[in-house]
Structure 1
Amino acid sequence: MKTRIPALVAGTLVAITLGALPAAATGHSGPVSLRGTHADGATYAIEVPRRWNGTLLTYSPGYGRGAGPEGAPAALAGNDQARQWLLAHGYALAGTRPFGDGWVVEEALRDAAHTLAVVDRVAGRPSATLAWGASMGGEVVAGLAELRPDLVDGALPYCGSVAGPVAMQNQAFDAAFAVTTLLSTPVKLSGFASAEEEAAVVAEVRSALDQAQPTAAGRARIALAASFAQISPWSVPGTPEPGARDWAAQEAQQYAAFTSTAFSPRYPLEQRAGGKFSWNTGVDYRRELRESGRLEQVRALYAQAGIDLDADLDQLAAAPRTQADPGAVAYMARHFTPSGRLAVPVLTVHTKGDNFPTVTQARAYSDAVARAGRAALLRETFVDGPGHCTYSGAELLAAVLTLEHRVKTGAWTGATAPALNRLAADLAEDDPGLGGSGFIELRPGRFLRPFTWPTGAPRT
């Protein structure tokens, strides 16, 4: 019996035909199918196929329900079609779900290492270990790429919060501050006493937004506030992209995404950090608007409404500001704000219309990597469309194979949108269930509130 294993050669998907060799011929044992629980309550899953090719992918999940009596078990991947393809083609998979809910980055970094130790024990040391993860899991993977080069050889953060939690939450805070100020909605934006108090605030703001949206002045002010969070003008999955100058349609998309983007849960993160970690002292909102990429839209909507943009910017400048607790900032920075000091190759995937994180986080990440002198280790890729973590199996596999090629050859062959689309199309031709591909060439605009953890500061 023969097995055909797709592989990257000079940027093209080709088939390598292997005979029915025993697992020992690759130096790795299999099959292994294992589920377990670490000492701290985190769960893990490991699958090693009988004919393991030596490469392991270790998966970190996004923000949400953690392990525990009522939590979800560990997953091996974030896409079922990709998971099936990888196992069928000789790749071993591992996944870890930390115990507890919410922003469990501290635990996730530790528990991923524990899971890899189990793989070594039950199946042998992989010839290559690739870390991949979605959303918050993408940030965990970025952390492994900097902190644990002894454990991973490459990293694939997709739809990942790679600007770090401090920058991401400051960006959201700016939009929340602006909209509540401009819509005269005096609510608390941080320092909540309970999740219920925060939920009540969000409901009040949502009501104010709903009342403002039918009016021209309300739409203009929502667009201004959205510019500070760089909320995408194409945010709603399943809808066509608004025209480049269709300001009203773009604002409607921003309005639809505003509450979930600017008011993502803050209370559980502050509880974990021990205080307020967002601030807007010293922020110049005029400059933020100029650099947001949304200035033309905002000016047009203000002109249509017949209201004074300068007056609203003056109001924001005069409004009371919020300071952060340095200790809380330090906690969130340690868990985890990328410094850019990559120790292994990293390939990121972002969606153009994502808001969790916004695509400009990719720019913040590449800027940090460049400042650290590690640009040769990073490639960033982008998929056309709105929504969060909505990648097809073919898109994810194309990224995985491209990263694997970089790890094994030292060359970033095929890490361009045309090459990734060709590779994804070849994969889908053999397995139509993997879906289509929409990689595009994109240079994101500047991220407005970058934050890099100080060089040399303790981070673990």
Structure 2
Amino acid sequence: MTRSIHVRTAFVAITAAALLATGMTAGSAPASASTPTEVSGTLADATPYRFVVPERWNGTVFVELDFAASTSVSGYVEHLLASGAAYGGTTRTVTGWDIAGAIDNQIEALERFEAAVGPATRRIATGTSMGGFVAAGVAQRRPGSIDGVASFCGGLSGAVSQWNQKLDTVYTLSRLLDPDGALPVTGIPADVAGSVSAWRAVLSEAQGTPEGRARIALAAAIGQLPAWAESQPRPSPRDPDAYQAGWYGALAGGGLPYIGQAMSSRRSLETITGGNPSWNLGVDYRAQFAAASKQDRKVVERLYRAAGLSLEEDLGIVDAGERIAADEAAVRQLEQGIEFDGALSVPVLTMSNIGDQISTVAQQDEYGDLVKAAGNGGLLRQIYVESVGHCAFSDAEKVAAVDVLLGRLDSGRWRSTSAATLNRAAEATELGEARFLRFTPDDFTRPYAPAVSPQV
């Protein structure tokens, strides 16, 4: 692959300082040592970057959002370093939800790495959560600068669509549990912690009654949340009470509840975009519920019957509420963050855990559909892990996933991604649990096409 490297003027002083600290000179191979060499510095926008280079570097380099902020090296990264790959990346400290800026930073960091260490033979964008989103964005926006992508728990329906769906969830809760509109849905105030605390109090109170539990379930089904709470077994839809408790746990429990991220990250988005980038004008919530999975609908219907409530009446209440308009300029800016269009020219592997309450797994359906519609299905593999929590992967599972991508780059063909094959590979690493499963995500119910003007 031919690449042109554009190095900004500020790079000279930064690189010199970094290389003096590491005993390296620009363009040299890593110094011979019993421990890996580090290359670090600061990008043009003041974002830190850091790479760890093994003594016998094999030419492969991974770049990840958040790596430069880490204080330790995981077993997964240690495994890759031991195999000869270099590993590094940036942080989100400057860019935050400026996904476009974070995408560009990954490439600038790679350029600085190569200027210091030498040309790489394989450049792989990777990351978890927002990092997985950014890595997939690199594949679409800067494909000539990388050779492959390993995206972990990135969501990937697109920036606008995922936040429209989060709006649907919180809007439904607002209409049914906070009819006076005392709690924020958009326009999140600076006291984010106060908003989260107030929402959790309302949800906790509702969870104490059959009526409240039914209404929480309806909002969760519309938002396609996993019905699985952290520190609890995965519930069966044949047990509606346990299933609903799983929804409540995903929504309001655990260390990173859905409602918390719906407040904190929306506040960040509204600050970055200068307005509200989400809307529900024209959304038919009866249709949204009808589009939910059959098992989710059945659980909600049983809970409504047990509570003596009319599901049809509550859907009418949601549909009759005052709708929320978006600021079109904010939508257009968030689109740049990125909206995926299925355009791939390098292999992409995605891994999601089915109980992720933040990067909900149905978004993978939308990403896969877009890639297939663009005729690029052969470049994509999507695999799934049976675990609960945000980005809940073992080191073993991450190693097994990356090995699939490396095999594709080596041979030009995908090896088997059956659950049995992946579990054997993960178990062989002795780095943790192996929980791959055969899984098909539900159809994503809030897709967005940038070519279509938003309702504002």
Q: Could you tell me the TM-score, scaled by structure 1's length? A: 0.85
Deviation at 1:153, TM superposition (A): 0.5
Deviation at 1:449, TM superposition (A): 0.6
Long gaps (5+) in structure 2: 1-26, 32-36
* 1:76–1:94 Cα contact (<8 Å) kept: no
String of CA shifts for 1:373-432, please: whole Å, max 9, x gaps.
Answer: 21111110000021111111111011111101112211011222222111112222xxxx
For residues 153 and 320 of structure 2, the distance between their equivalents in structure 1, rounded to whole angstroms, comes to 36
* 2:228–2:250 Cα contact (<8 Å) kept: no
2:132 aligned residue: 138
For residues 307 and 211 of structure 2, the distance between their equivalents in structure 1, rounded to whole angstroms, comes to 5
String of CA shifts for 1:223-259, please: whole Å, max 9, x gaps.
Answer: 00111111111131x2111123111111112112224
* 1:58–1:76 Cα contact (<8 Å) kept: no
* 2:397–2:426 Cα contact (<8 Å) kept: yes
String of CA shifts for 1:70-104, please: whole Å, max 9, x gaps.
Answer: xx943499x70011111112111121114426313
AA aligned opposite 1:280 = N
AA aligned opposite 1:82 = Y
Q: In 2 relative to 1, CA 73–379 (structure 1 residues): closer, same or farther, beyond 3 Å?
A: closer
* 1:55–1:128 Cα contact (<8 Å) kept: yes
Q: Does residue 195 of the first structure (1) align with residue 195 of the second (2)?
A: no
Q: Does residue 302 of the first structure (1) align with residue 297 of the second (2)?
A: no
* 1:130–1:404 Cα contact (<8 Å) kept: no
Deviation at 1:54, TM superposition (A): 1.5
Moved more, 326-335 or 200-209: 200-209
Q: In 2 relative to 1, CA 366–89 (structure 1 residues): closer, same or farther, beyond 3 Å?
A: same
Of 42, 49, 67, the match for 1:44: 49
Q: Does residue 254 of the first structure (1) align with residue 256 of the second (2)?
A: no
2:332 aligned residue: 330
Q: In 2 relative to 1, CA 240–28 (structure 1 residues): closer, same or farther, beyond 3 Å?
A: farther
2:101 aligned residue: 107
Q: Does residue 447 of the first structure (1) align with residue 407 of the second (2)?
A: no
Deviation at 1:28, TM superposition (A): 8.5
Moved more, 327-336 or 412-421: 412-421
Of 430, 433, 438, the match for 1:436: 433
AA aligned opposite 2:120 = P
Long gaps (5+) in structure 1: 1-26, 62-71, 429-433, 456-460
AA aligned opposite 1:252 = A
- Give the 3-state SS of the residue equivalent to 2:351 in structure 1: strand
2:277 aligned residue: 277
* 1:46–1:119 Cα contact (<8 Å) kept: yes
AA aligned opposite 2:432 = G
* 1:340–1:372 Cα contact (<8 Å) kept: yes
String of CA shifts for 1:282-328, please: whole Å, max 9, x gaps.
Answer: 11111111111111011000000111111111111111111111111
1:60 aligned residue: 65
Higher strand share: 1
Deviation at 1:217, TM superposition (A): 0.7
Deviation at 1:39, TM superposition (A): 2.5
For residues 92 and 356 of structure 2, the distance between their equivalents in structure 1, rounded to whole angstroms, comes to 25
Give the superposed CA RMSD: 1.9
1:391-402 equivalences in 2 (<5 Å)? 391-402=393-404
AA aligned opposite 2:318 = L
- Give the 3-state SS of the residue equivalent to 1:379 in structure 2: strand
AA aligned opposite 2:185 = L
Deviation at 1:334, TM superposition (A): 0.8
- Give the 3-state SS of the residue equivalent to 1:116 in structure 2: helix
AA aligned opposite 2:186 = S
For residues 361 and 333 of structure 2, the distance between their equivalents in structure 1, rounded to whole angstroms, comes to 25
Deviation at 1:109, TM superposition (A): 1.1
2:205 aligned residue: 211
* 2:196–2:263 Cα contact (<8 Å) kept: no
For residues 418 and 264 of structure 1, the distance between their equivalents in structure 2, rounded to whole angstroms, comes to 39
For residues 180 and 239 of structure 2, the distance between their equivalents in structure 1, rounded to whole angstroms, comes to 28
For residues 165 and 36 of structure 1, the distance between their equivalents in structure 2, rounded to whole angstroms, comes to 29
For residues 93 and 226 of structure 2, the distance between their equivalents in structure 1, rounded to whole angstroms, comes to 33
1:178 aligned residue: 172
* 1:76–1:93 Cα contact (<8 Å) kept: no
* 1:235–1:354 Cα contact (<8 Å) kept: no
2:319 aligned residue: 317
Deviation at 1:106, TM superposition (A): 2.5
* 1:41–1:99 Cα contact (<8 Å) kept: no
String of CA shifts for 1:21-69, please: whole Å, max 9, x gaps.
Answer: xxxxxx98224421211221100111221211121111123xxxxxxxx
Q: Does residue 267 of the first structure (1) align with residue 261 of the second (2)?
A: no
Identity %: 37
1:234 aligned residue: 228
AA aligned opposite 1:232 = P
* 1:42–1:99 Cα contact (<8 Å) kept: yes
Q: In 2 relative to 1, CA 141–172 (structure 1 residues): closer, same or farther, beyond 3 Å?
A: same
Deviation at 1:185, TM superposition (A): 4.5
Q: In 2 relative to 1, CA 185–351 (structure 1 residues): closer, same or farther, beyond 3 Å?
A: farther
1:74 aligned residue: 69
Q: In 2 relative to 1, CA 398–289 (structure 1 residues): closer, same or farther, beyond 3 Å?
A: same
* 1:334–1:453 Cα contact (<8 Å) kept: no
Deviation at 1:454, TM superposition (A): 3.4
- Give the 3-state SS of the residue equivalent to 1:385 in structure 2: strand
AA aligned opposite 1:43 = P
AA aligned opposite 1:368 = L
AA aligned opposite 2:237 = A
For residues 332 and 171 of structure 1, the distance between their equivalents in structure 2, rounded to whole angstroms, comes to 15
AA aligned opposite 2:251 = F
* 2:210–2:303 Cα contact (<8 Å) kept: yes
For residues 229 and 377 of structure 2, the distance between their equivalents in structure 1, rounded to whole angstroms, comes to 30
Of 342, 345, 366, the match for 2:344: 342
- Give the 3-state SS of the residue equivalent to 1:115 in structure 2: helix
String of CA shifts for 1:261-281, please: whole Å, max 9, x gaps.
Answer: 243421121110121111111
